[in-house]
A and B are shown apart, each in its own frame.
Chain A
Amino acid sequence: MGNKTKYWKSLGELKDNPEILQTKENEFAEQLPSDIFTNDGVNEASTSRRDFLKFVGFSMGAAALASCEAPVTKTIPYLMKPEEVTPGVANWYASTFDDGHDYCPVLVKTREGRPIKIEGNNLSKITWGGTSARVQGSVLSLYDKARYAGAVIKGAAKSWEDVDRELGTALNGAIASGKSVRVLSSTVMSPSMRSAISEFCRKTGAKHIQYDAVSQYAIRKAHWHTHDKAILPAYQFGNASVIVSFGADFLANWISPVEYAKQYSKNRKVSRENKTMSKHVQFESILSLTGSNADTRVPVKPSDLGANVVALYNELSGQSLPVSGKVNKDAIAKTAGWLRNNKGKSLVVCGVNDVAVQIVVNEINKWLGSYGTTIDADNASNYRQGNDEEFAGLVKDMNEGKVGALIMYRSNPVYTAASMKFADALKKVDVKVSLSTSPDETSALCDFVCPDHHYLESWSDSNPRSGHYSLGQPAIAPLFKTRSAMESFLRWSGNNQDAHTYITNYWMAHVFPMQGKYMKFSEFWNHSLHDGVAEVGTAPVVTEKKEETKKEVKPEEKKEETAPVMTDKWDVAAAAGKIAEVKGGAMELIIYEKTGIGSGNHSNNPWLVEFPDPISKVTWDHYITMNPADMQGKYDTLERQDMIGDIATITVNGVTSTLPVFPQPGQATGTIGIAVGYGRMGIGKVAEIAGGDNAYKYVQMSNTGTMQYFAGTVTISDKTGESFHFACTQQHHTMMGRKMVNETSIGEYINGNPEHWNHKEYLTVFNTEGGHEKVPVTTQNLWDNFDRPGHRWGLAIDLNSCIGCGACVIGCQAENNTATVGKSQIRNVRDMYWLRIDRYYSSPMTEEVAKQEGVGKVDMYLEMEKPHTENPRVVFQPVMCQHCNHAPCETVCPVVATTHGNDGLNQMTYNRCIGTRYCANNCPYKVRRFNWYNLNANYRFEHINPAHESDLLGRMVLNPDVVVRSRGVMEKCSMCIQRIQAGKLKAKLEERKLADGDVQTACAQACPTNAIIFGDLSDKNSMIAKHFADERSYFLLEDVGTLPNVAYLTKVRNVDESEMPKEEHKNKEDKKEEKKEHA
């Protein structure tokens, strides 16, 4: 469709900035400094002709000499080879990623005892094998050289015996002085860990307080008001036909994004058989990943979100509760209409951590009949158990000197509660203990640092939802002298069990009786450990029965004891009253999480810090986002290629941050966005390079006793005069402004002619009778067709399912040893990602429309800019090597380093490549990456690239089946040829045909929404063949004649046709022909 619709990646491109137009044409952002080779330059060149000849002679001689002596290669076999380890063969272990913020059951791939890759666990009935960028990147944090090497007391390394003894004395002292002991942690979903902590609490009289960096306490509290239970219900996005979200970024950050993305994608997929899809409406302030996937997106200032929720409630229920604030009446009316038509099949979620707002949301969901269909309140989730009020109480107690000892587990309040001056409060505590694995702001201030294992080194369990359990097992022996936090708590409570025994005993006593499948515990345990997950009665009825019998151990029961302390319950009117109290300002601030580093748990992980933000495409930098309309005239809107912006200072209640300003189309006007996770101190080199400022210091307490992640009144200074060069991949590898993405509306998809919305390219040729004939462009061919005797590998990418989350990007990086390159190289357009996700903005205004309507050029651009920078439509498109059957790169390589396989793969041979870069220049998809440096040895990348030779720990993450590339060679997506070869070998050994799904590329496996499908096109019954044959499929730049082995499936939006960009799919000849046909 709409090949005249303007899709743009940045404001500069939108406005046809000549610099950017120029770079679009070029593969490489910079020209070679060729002037020194021309006549003029040669006289000034520092290298004379004689020097040049000397260098040539020397290097030839040196090369010949160096290769004369045989290098001796040493090999050291095992002394006692473990039975399960075979060098060269990977072992897989089921485990669980749960860092108190994200949860995901995983499979860990280990080679020679080293974990090197994380995959999702398909057996989990929560995440169904999905992963996220953070989960994929979590393996690298194991090899973080900044980690604690052992226990530390007041800065001095100590043995664990010393720590236990000295801490015991200190704790006794604190208790004797009449002060209390507190344990502070983020959400603990591990039932065994809870039990261990409560053992400790019983022993010392301590109290356990949970506190989340990004809290959702309001949801629990609101459910106490409306449902008498302080629970976080389990959301079922998969059952909803209409999804309305108020500021909940549930596909990237909100509560359990992997789980929700999986459910969400189920109803977003369309096929010939099932042409229905859910409708997604998003009200939000910043342009989030979730918002960019919405069918209808409404930008709303943070303070107005509550008002819009109340307005929706009024609209649905017919009541007229007071609404103060700006409400988008039109959008609310439409949304109410969709919801009303889908009662019992709709879901409203809200990310605002405000009890009053959540109460109204609960009432809306009640009215819609969502409870029992799209919301499961019987089998509640155990995510986000943090209690903001208790935490505030703790800080108060600390300030009053009532807390004698504070033990912090998976919690970094000095950083995340900077707004509450936690560091000052901590000074008044006598005994400060941190269990952090690696240094953080809090552990720096603690007397005792008792580092916990990394999750890949320890035994753990998790209970994310009633009836769902998962286990974590060590995939590697501890790298450092750390100790499992569970064991620490047990030691301090006089229990000498190790974590494994303790968890086994806990499961025997509490989990085993809940299931009826296995008679013997050993059987149950072995199966659970093998599978990594255990479902113990998911049917609500069964679970309820179990709950009755196991009352004392249910975590949520405990929750109820500690939940809200207030006596009166608010009804919806009272809640609306509270909402009306919220005051906004001319400029408001909203604090959000980045898809890569999240709440700050991954701030020192080079993969995730360099990971381009799905929306802004900025890599390392911390910045302020604003709508370009707000920036106009005040700050540079980055329309130039160089991406140099202005710096400004924001002030909220006297607290300031000075950060560069980044234009973000789609952000609500009058809103400033700042991400958390930056400005980390002393946690490692990567975080230091990333820099930035701590946004948690703007978190405030709302009038309903919860952490509020926005500020109503903000002042922002004029530009300071300094400028900032963004490390942003937004303009990188832009594909010459041609038609890339294809989208249509659901109505047209169902009723329209595919030829209209998935327009194929035609070519007019002479036919045998001497006349003209129009034939599909793919049938015309300059080259001989390749032989395909066996497999033909292909990828299909469903743009409808792709949410742009970037799990594939990090999955690819982990699998293929692609380097991280650092800020300066990103600025030079030298990122090394084999798989990038292009993010396009689009809007209905086009040059054609302007011409037809007689809009002047200046007005047209103004008009073009206005509506869509306010609320552009977003398309994500993962682009990797297209493995063209007639690949332009192959024909230009002077040394035949890139060749074609008979299985359709475009192969890249690094050892043959001499680095002419002709291939990259000739690639229309711009997917080839050149090694400008020896990224693994050059001093510039010492602290950036985990595979750098100076980092013996970081190098352990490398995949030994993929070559680490050196300087001067080209590299690109190989379609995970190492996996293909391994899969083929397995089939040969088992003497069977290769079945569909036997081989998965890293990107396809990482994808939480199954948007990427890999398979053998020669197998006509395979998933991939079906995707290629789908009416939605099209190829990138089909008219170039490259015949790619990667197909894209048209994006379908659940919107009215009127909301879609105008149709301009037919050229004049087409129209003429149609007329003829009619005649």
Chain B
Amino acid sequence: MITLCSSRFRPGLALVTTLALSLLLFTSTAYAASDGKKIFKTNCASCHFLDDKMSTGPGLAGISGRRPDKQWLFDWVKDNETFAKKNPDAMSLKNKYPGSMNVFAGVLSDEDIKAVVDYIYSEPGPEKKVTDGGGTTTQTGPVVEEKGINPVYLLLTIAAILLILINVLKSVKKNLQNARNRELGLPALPEYTFRQWCSHNKRTVAVVLIFFFAWGSKAAWDGMWDLGVYTGYKPDQPIKFSHKIHAGDNKIACEYCHSGVLKSKVAGVPSVNVCMNCHKGIESGPTTGTEEIAKIYEAAGFDASTKTYSKTPKPLVWNKVHVLPDFVFFSHQQHVVVGKQECVTCHGDLTKMDVAQQTVPLTMGWCVECHHKTEVPGLATDQKTGTAVNAYYEELHKNLKLKYRGKADSLLTVERMGGLECGKCHY
């Protein structure tokens, strides 16, 4: 079992401290003694709902009726193993459910447990999901905003209309003149073709052509820079999975599902069994109801009515959003664990996205820019002393500091460590 201290990665998630892979196991951090709700959300909510639905553990609605004695629940939460040995009632409860509950003694203080028990007994009911005022699920966050009419196009349209008008008026004028000439017996006005006009106005034609050529070249050049750049790419997915609901509203840490990020070069798309950790109990979502979650069950071969994996599983085929070419070697572990980068830097704020979207260009220039300016402090993870240095960097930093001493820009950036060399990413 691997426990991950998320506080080293994202101060914003200081409360979501420790995650376990097989179960949501939350451990150690001090809480404000009174905040039962917070403690519940971080430690209990992954297995227990506040309504009467079954998740990994039973739902907690009506607990005060079932267990009038708060002390009973306190003992149970504190150490259900020991408690069950003494209390036959607890033993029967333990035997009723297949999974075993974590022992929280040592993880939570007595005050914390008291607070959380108080919170549960206050029977808050299921938490209302955050929805927009209108009730419709509009997209929020940095999704492409509605565009007004571009004034340039407006001007161009007006100009075109005017040109047409001028042309029409001219032709009317010419027809009138011809009609009059016919009456007077004069010859008709000579045809004055566009070609003739061009040959009479060579300078204007040249200027216009040059203008259009320059404008076209510029447009082509700019367009080519965007070839293969898919900023804003937002493919449909087989399941309408919403990062906003999971990572935003419910504050599930990114590393819980994308666990590879701490152990491997790839963050990984979570396997279906990770979804089932929670969705074994959560059958209905706030926006799509049971429809989308049923697709997980289908993939997992899970029969929701009998709560058994009795059907044939079927793999899910997702569309990759952030795609790097095969000839680029990128390690999440290097950037997140060693480099202590936030997910948001490269992936945008997914807590606000219903549909995952590529928000950065992911071009080499974009990588290089960051490597060019980011400092490598080379600090150890254990920051008790504040200045502890990762022993790997000790020698390197010493040498580089010597080299850049006294220079105006003496920041030890990734570039100066050799992080802009081709071979660091291409091999």
Contact = CB atoms under 8 A, between A and B. Distances in A.
> Do A and B truly interact?
yes
Interface of A: 64, 67-68, 70-81, 83, 86-89, 787, 789-790, 897, 899-903, 905, 907-912, 961-964, 974, 977-978, 981, 984-985, 987-989, 991-994, 1018
Given A79-B299, A989-B333, A991-B380, A789 B400 contact: yes
B427 A87 contact: no
Contacts of A989: 333, 337-338
A902 B390 contact: no
Shortest 4 CB-CB distances between A and B: which pairs?
A: A907-B423, A88-B264, A81-B271, A78-B271
Contacts of B269: 75, 77
B331 interface: yes
A980 to B, nearest CB: 9
A984 B100 CA distance: 40
A64 B334 CA distance: 35
Contacts of A897: 422
Give the secondary structure class of B's interface.
loop
Contacts of B399: 789-790
Give the secondary structure class of A's interface.
loop
Interface string B242-282: 00000000000000000110011110111111100000000
Given A899-B423, A974-B427, A977-B423, A910 B272 contact: no
B99 interface: no
Given A79-B299, A901-B421, 15 more contacts: A77-B269, A80-B272, A89-B264, A907-B421, A907-B426, A907-B427, A908-B427, A909-B422, A909-B423, A911-B426, A963-B326, A981-B331, A988-B338, A989-B337, A992-B392
A989 B65 CA distance: 51
Contacts of B384: none
B395 interface: yes
B233 A70 contact: yes
A76 B317 contact: yes
Given A912-B422, A991-B392, A993-B395, A77 B327 contact: no
Interface string B374-396: 00000011000000001111111
A79 B274 CA distance: 9
Contacts of B119: none
A1018 B337 CA distance: 26
Contacts of B360: none
Nearest to B223: A64
A564 to B, nearest CB: 58
Contacts of A86: 259-260, 263-264, 268
A988 B390 contact: yes
A963 B323 contact: no
10 contacts: A74-B319, A76-B317, A77-B271, A77-B315, A80-B272, A87-B260, A790-B396, A984-B392, A985-B334, A993-B391
B320 A903 contact: no
A73 B264 contact: no
B68 interface: no
Contacts of A89: 263-264
A981 B424 contact: yes
B327 A910 contact: yes
A501 B394 CA distance: 51
Nearest to B319: A72
Nearest to B398: A789
B98 interface: no
Given A978-B427, A988-B392, A81 B273 contact: yes
B272 A909 contact: no
Given A899-B423, A907-B423, A790 B418 contact: yes
Contacts of B337: 989
B313 interface: yes
A994 B392 contact: yes
Nearest to B318: A75
Contact of B224 (A64, A961, A974, A987): A64
Given A87-B260, A88-B264, A991-B391, A70 B230 contact: yes
Contacts of A901: 418, 421, 423-424
Contacts of A68: 227
B235 interface: yes
A1010 to B, nearest CB: 26
B423 A87 contact: no
Contact of B313 (A79, A87, A991): A79
A77 B318 contact: yes
A417 to B, nearest CB: 48
Contact of B423 (A77, A83, A905): A905
Given A81-B273, A86-B264, A993 B418 contact: no
Contacts of B395: 790, 993, 1018
A904 to B, nearest CB: 11
B423 A993 contact: no
B325 interface: yes
B316 interface: yes
A989 B334 CA distance: 8
Given A79-B299, A88-B266, A903 B418 contact: yes
B265 to A, nearest CB: 4
B381 A991 contact: yes
Contacts of A88: 260, 264-266, 268
Contact of A992 (B268, B318, B391): B391
Contacts of A83: 22
Contacts of B334: 985, 988
Contacts of A67: 227-228
